Amino acid sequence: MIPARLVWPAAALLALAAGSLFTGVVDLGPGALRDPEALRLIWISRWPRTLAVLLTGASMAVAGLILQMLARNRFVEPATAGTGQAAALGILGVTLLWPGAPLWAQMGLSSLAALVGSVVFLALIRQLPPTRPLLVPLVALIYGGILGAGVDAIGWQFDLLQYVAIWTNGEFSGVMRGRYELLWLTGALTLLAYLYADRFTIAGLGRDAATGLGLNHGRVVAAGLLIVSIATAVTVVTIGTIPFVGLVVPNIVSRMAGDNLRATLPGTAAFGAGLVLACDIAARLLRHPYETPVGTIFGVVGAALFLWLLHAKPRHAR
């Protein structure tokens, strides 16, 4: 039996997914399910796209949540704190230095660059006074901005700015069968994160408290950064960066349900998936038959939600 409080969110997610299958340039009516041509379209394009959106939304939200616990700061997310930019730098380096690199090498090196970028970020913010939490997002923005500027400079120098645009502006219109399967890896990483949920929550209590509870804090941070970096790198390479998902979604869930990740991580993943899917459907409808970049729509929706969040009173538990 599904608990009652999960029925509405699950129904909403299913409705969005069904809506996504029937939204696009070609109009599919209710009769589509008997039309082999329409079924082929769903099989090759709509279904992969819907899955890609769900996987991306879920993994970006969870990656943001993990980074926030590890950094012990609510206002950071991988897409703006250097992880995403470092991943783009990595894939740019592979494109330049090893043009025929196989996919696994592109992925691996891009993940490695993302990991280095995240480790440097955590090392940077460790120097900041804990009494000034707002310095952390400022440092994150500056650090991510510098790395991003490096990506742009190299891209401009070697005439690769078109690729850079693909990696930095996430959108799903290019998703088709055979071009998104790498994203299943982010789904696996999200499940892995759930196994570590208690350890991430304890890491969020701080290094001393974690050690006192018998956790090897360094190892938990390493595991978390690996998940965040690989998930971010996979998304950057296949879809491109979608900013704010990792920031807005975990903050909303934390406001409503707290930070016990064992309880909130599935909801964070589902909310991230649903919100990005809603934005992607809007992206397909807004200038039909053309598309608006989903990152742009999410930026507007995310900003509105965030403002609402800042002004709404936090809800007490239960």
Residues that bind other proteins (CB under 8 A): 69, 72-74, 130, 133, 198, 201-202, 204-209, 211-216, 254, 258-260, 262, 314, 316-318
The rounded distance, in Å, linking the Cα atoms of 214 and 273 is 34
Q: Report, in Å, the least distance between residue 264 CB and other proteins.
A: 10
Q: Which is nearer to other proteins, 70 or 92 (CB)?
A: 70
Q: Report, in Å, the least distance between residue 62 CB and other proteins.
A: 16
Q: How many CB atoms lie within 10 A of CB 208?
A: 9
| Cis peptide leading into residue 99 (ω within 30°) | no
Q: Report, in Å, the least distance between residue 82 CB and other proteins.
A: 20
Helix (H) or strand (E) holding 232: helix 217-238
DSSP letter at 314? Answer: P
Q: Which is nearer to other proteins, 101 or 256 (CB)?
A: 256
Q: Give residue 206's Cα distance to chain centre.
A: 24
Q: Report, in Å, the least distance between residue 203 CB and other proteins.
A: 9
Q: Report, in Å, the least distance between residue 144 CB and other proteins.
A: 21
Q: Which is nearer to other proteins, 110 or 264 (CB)?
A: 264
Q: Report, in Å, the least distance between residue 197 CB and other proteins.
A: 8
Backbone phi, psi, residue 147, to 5°: -60, -40
Q: Report, in Å, the least distance between residue 259 CB and other proteins.
A: 4
Residues 261/67, Cβ–Cβ less than 8 Å? no
Q: Which is nearer to other proteins, 45 or 73 (CB)?
A: 73
Q: Which is nearer to other proteins, 157 or 211 (CB)?
A: 211
The rounded distance, in Å, linking the Cα atoms of 246 and 82 is 13
Helix (H) or strand (E) holding 294: helix 294-311
Q: Report, in Å, the least distance between residue 60 CB and other proteins.
A: 21
Q: Which is nearer to other proteins, 25 or 134 (CB)?
A: 134
Backbone phi, psi, residue 131, to 5°: -80, -5
Q: How many CB atoms lie within 10 A of CB 135?
A: 15
Residue 309, Cβ density class (10 Å: 0-12 exposed, 13-18 middle, ≥19 buried): middle
| Cis peptide leading into residue 289 (ω within 30°) | yes
Pair of tokens at residue 285: 């409808």
Residues 254/74, Cβ–Cβ less than 8 Å? yes
Q: Which is nearer to other proteins, 159 or 208 (CB)?
A: 208
> Which of 244, 275, 271 lies closest to 257, judged by CA?
271
- First-last CA distance in the chain: 21
Q: Which is nearer to other proteins, 174 or 206 (CB)?
A: 206
